[in-house]
A and B are shown apart, each in its own frame.
Chain A
């Protein structure tokens, strides 16, 4: 690295990006999908009709829980929101061993449990993007955090390598081989640069107490509980007294919370020891209303209705962390801003993909002068196809499984995920059997077909097809079906582009030799 600062930064950028590029691509793409977590969950449970959130939702939910689990030590209730209009409840099952939880989806109008198919819904992409799958959450989070640190280094060294950030806004020279890939990579990188930095850094901050626990170790030696209580306001759980006491009506408490939050809406409820003299009711404000993800809440006695504690804004550092968390998950964003977040997330996905492809294209051009490309180049090319073209197809396969697996199948939700990985595994093996260009074309085309047929499948198998959604005014499902067609169009375009492109033909290596240099501006 005697050849100067910029060259060493370019080296650092290349390797920190490439080594974990394929994981980062998967994290970026599934993370982008996670912005639409409620919409995906709604679409994946076609049994549930769209409803309108009403002022009595909390009462309906509490009454339903009294019927479902009056003896449970704790209830967790998520109220409907415009993006996902059912009530979701979790409760600790007193008869189950250990910390057994049960869950149900309730109709917001009646409070009756809905017999919806067993599915993880959008939750799967959300969880996968920060803790992967088929491994403990602990290891998954560490792996993703380490890859995120690589990403931060790649971004910082990438910025240093660049001289002309502003000019790159307007630079794209198509159909010029390596130069076009570099332009595309730069364009996606600089257009959404603040977003890339934000999403990477805030991603690290979300798990910082796991990856960087040394501040707590030093300031709170062996008192992590005390730290958690101070920062997150987790009150120690109250033991049940064994004295029956009916739960107070919820409506006046909700009204009191509304006034406290100056009209803010209630998002979640947590009830501990219901129907006991020690009962508490915690009302938590809707997190879609605030930038900071630090929850605002009010806790009442469940037996008397007296206000026990209020949690508002934390200190400046706690709120900074809350805002970073909130920015990352984008729950505060309205439809327009959320659309922008999705576009920026896709720009990040394309940035990672073009970076990986650019490396392989460069290696192949160098190899074309010397002879055969090495194992590293071929491995990178293989992983590029399997990840960049394979993952979208696997995501489509996940939706197919949601529609096609039998309703009463055991472990149905888990099998949807198995199908996702089986499809992805197929895409990982497929490039071994096919010429390189064919592998790209076929996987993109397969993904396009899988997405394009999903609305058709919807029409054949459910009552919630495009036309029905339009008539019912179920805009989430309506736009979701159109979005699937949009995904198909993008993948189809990519397949067409690769198929048509002469320079990628693996059989005609002469075409890959750089053409006579043209004047570049």
Chain B
């Protein structure tokens, strides 16, 4: 039961986080006008969210599931901190 709760938390919370971070990064880094980039990134975000949830339940162990969510989230956050990644 605890394992399932952890997967749900990871999938929903972590998944939304990754979707939000990727939307922020793509909104300012896609090679197109700014408003277009925001729309493209936002439209893609739900596919990323769904993918993250599937991963949270597909991974062999809870630890792997969380690691697989934490690493992309950290990389996205780092990329957002780099000056020049947008506003």
Binding site for B on A (CB under 8 A): 1-2, 5, 8-9, 11-12, 149, 152-153, 156-157, 160, 201, 204-205, 208-209, 212, 214-221, 227, 230-231, 315-318, 320-321, 324
Contact = CB atoms under 8 A, between A and B. Distances in A.
Given A2-B60, A219-B86, A316-B36, A212 B50 contact: no
A9 B7 CA distance: 13
A155 to B, nearest CB: 9
A221 B87 contact: yes
B83 interface: no
B28 A218 contact: yes
A315 B41 contact: no
Interface of B: 3, 7, 19-21, 23-28, 32-43, 45-47, 49-50, 53-54, 57-58, 60, 80, 86-87
Given A215-B41, A231-B35, 9 more contacts: A153-B53, A160-B54, A208-B42, A214-B23, A214-B24, A219-B28, A221-B87, A318-B36, A324-B43
B3 A12 contact: no
A152 B39 contact: no
Contacts, number: 112
18 contacts: A1-B57, A9-B54, A149-B46, A149-B49, A152-B50, A157-B54, A204-B46, A212-B20, A214-B20, A217-B24, A218-B80, A219-B35, A219-B37, A231-B39, A315-B32, A318-B36, A318-B39, A320-B43
Contacts of B38: 215-216, 219-220, 227, 231
Contact of B46 (A8, A208, A219, A230): A208
B36 A317 contact: yes
A8 B62 CA distance: 12
Contacts of A217: 24
B78 to A, nearest CB: 15
Contacts of B21: 214
Contacts of B28: 218-219
Given A152-B50, A153-B50, A317-B36, A212 B42 contact: yes
Nearest to B3: A1
B57 to A, nearest CB: 5
Contacts of B45: 208, 212, 215
A217 to B, nearest CB: 7
Contacts of A5: 58
A250 B77 CA distance: 55
B57 A11 contact: yes
